[in-house]
Amino acid sequence: MAVHEAQSYKDPGTFEEQSRRKFLANATLAAGGVITLVLGVPLVTSLIPESLLNPGKSSGGTWADLPKSQFDKIAAGGDPIKITFDFKYADGYFPPEADEQFVWGIKLTPEQERNFKARRPDLYALETRVEYPVITQSYVIFSSICPHLGCRFAWVPDAKRFICPCHGSQFGPEGAKLAGPTPRGLDPLPFREKDGQAQVTWIQYKSGQAERLIVSYS
């Protein structure tokens, strides 16, 4: 009896039986692949900034309102204006958290706008550019984070430049690097006007390097 069972175990069966087994095995593999795709793709894509998945889009994140009372102080060719605002910070599957940030806003004169690319070639070069429009309706909104090591710089009206208190990096009104250890100029943020409301997407770039690498965004 034992010998018979061993022999029947080795018996590959008829051609139809083999075909059916092969079909069932392939179907199981295919179903497993579909389940992996259905569950895996949203998991992976949720961890990648949308701007990297859709580089043609103007912004990958959410939009935060800039208070009108502060934004309206920006004048063409005038001093940069500090604008404090609230935004919701999204981090993977965690619920969004409210946070307060500030940015620096400028409005370019027609002449500044014509010369902007020449003054900020880093924002258009292949390795260091940003994937969204830098100038919107003549406005440029800068992140307040120093590209050197992440301190907060400030506009110094008497010097007519942004100066970082930590290691002395200095930037011109259009954010160009003028002095100090910073490896790049200031980082502009995605900006838009929607139904009369100025909005930005908060993006944090990796500090200490010339290339702009996104480390977080709202």
The tokens describing 54, both together, are 């859709």
Identify the residue among 182, 199, 201, 218 touching ligand FES (CB under 6 A). Answer: 182
Identify the residue among 149, 154, 210, 214 touching ligand FES (CB under 6 A). Answer: 149
Tell the smallest beta-carbon distance from residue 49 to ligand FES (Å): 24
Verify binding: residue 144, ligand FES, rule CB under 6 A.
Answer: no
Contacts of 98 (CB under 8 A, 6+ apart): 86, 87, 88, 89
* Own/partner pairs, 70-75, CB within 8 angstroms, 24+ separation: 71/105, 71/198, 74/105, 74/106, 74/107, 74/139, 75/107
Q: Are the CB atoms for 123 and 177 separated by under 8 Å?
A: no
Verify binding: residue 90, ligand FES, rule CB under 6 A.
Answer: no
Verify binding: residue 164, ligand FES, rule CB under 6 A.
Answer: yes
CA 85/CA 100 separation, integer angstroms:
6
Verify binding: residue 166, ligand FES, rule CB under 6 A.
Answer: yes
Stretch that binds ligand FES, among 28-36, 44-52, 107-115, 167-175 (CB under 6 A): 167-175
Per DSSP, which regions of 111-213 are E strands? 139-143, 154-156, 161-163, 170-171, 177-179, 191-194, 197-200, 203-205
Verify binding: residue 163, ligand FES, rule CB under 6 A.
Answer: no
Complex with ligand FES: residue 55 or 168, whichever CB lies closer: 168
Q: In what order do the strands lie in the sheet with 154-156?
A: 154-156, 161-163, 170-171, 177-179
Complex with ligand FES: residue 66 or 176, whichever CB lies closer: 176
Stretch that binds ligand FES, among 86-94, 108-116, 123-131, 176-184 (CB under 6 A): 176-184
CA 185/CA 208 separation, integer angstroms:
11
> Binding mask 94-133 vs ligand FES (x if CB under 6 A, - otherwise)?
----------------------------------------
Complex with ligand FES: residue 42 or 168, whichever CB lies closer: 168
Contact footprint for ligand FES (CB under 6 A): 146, 148-151, 164, 166-169, 180-182
